[in-house]
Amino acid sequence: EYEDDEDDGYNAKTQSAMMRDLYLSINEAKFSWVPTDTTNVLHVDSLTIKKGCLTMIIGRIGSGKTSLISGIIGEMPCVSGQVLWNRTSSIALVPQKPWLMNTTIRENIVFGRLYHRRRFDKTIKTCCLQPDLDILPEKDLTVIGDQGINLSGGQKQRIAIARALYSKANVLILDDPFSALDGRVASHIFEQ
């Protein structure tokens, strides 16, 4: 983004005051996988994610929800407009297809952070993983195989959600997180 010495009334103080109650603000933004292609563009007039609020993007299959997430997190380039993140934002993403490492369930959830038993146990309970761990030979120390090959789709999804929750990020971006879960489990996780 180009900046010059002219004061257009929009400076760092103004931005800071504006973002005090927000994690994210998008204004007149256009996103494109091919920045030179102006015909295949995702246009966002305005989107704000307020602190302490649940924000849901709802739309039909193929309407651009996942593309919007790609733009929000910086994977898809913003070719014009403005995407502003509050500097206090920490983000955890749960994609449609969970990404898992060929290591233990615990390591997939803790993901390089310090292991805190109480926080871990609470996360396991929130994500309804305890019954699954109880039947595994090594419980949470069971190695799950490449991309969780030994797990069901619902188990993979819940581990990915658990990783996001364990991270203590203040912004959770969940892309169709309950698609592989039964209604009762999805409802429990959502309510927690």
- Backbone dihedral angles phi then psi of residue 123, each to the nearest 5 degrees: -65, -45
Query: What is the pTM for the complete model shown?
Result: 0.81
Residue 84 C-alpha from the chain's centroid: 17
Pairing between β-strand 91-94 and β-strand 171-174 as defined by DSSP bridges: parallel
Cα-based angle 128, 113, 67 (whole degrees, multiple of 5): 70
Exposure of 68 by Cβ count < 10 A (0-12 exposed, 13-18 middle, 19+ buried)?
buried
The CA distance from 104 to 51, in Å, is 33
At 47, is the secondary structure helix, strand, or coil?
Answer: strand
pLDDT reported for residue 6? 46
pLDDT reported for residue 2? 35
Lookup result for tokens 């233990």: 104
Indicate the domain borders of the chain: 12-88, 93-191
The CA distance from 74 to 76, in Å, is 5
Question: Do residues 175 and 95 make contact, with C-beta atoms less than 8 angstroms apart?
Answer: yes
pLDDT reported for residue 20? 72
Per-residue pLDDT tens, the chain, 192 aa: give them. 434 444 444 445 555 655 677 788 899 999 999 888 777 788 899 988 888 888 888 888 888 889 999 998 999 999 999 898 888 888 899 998 888 999 999 999 999 999 999 999 999 999 999 999 999 889 999 998 887 778 888 899 999 999 999 998 988 888 888 887 778 887 888 887
pLDDT reported for residue 152? 87
The CATH code that applies to domain 93-191 is: 3.40.50.300
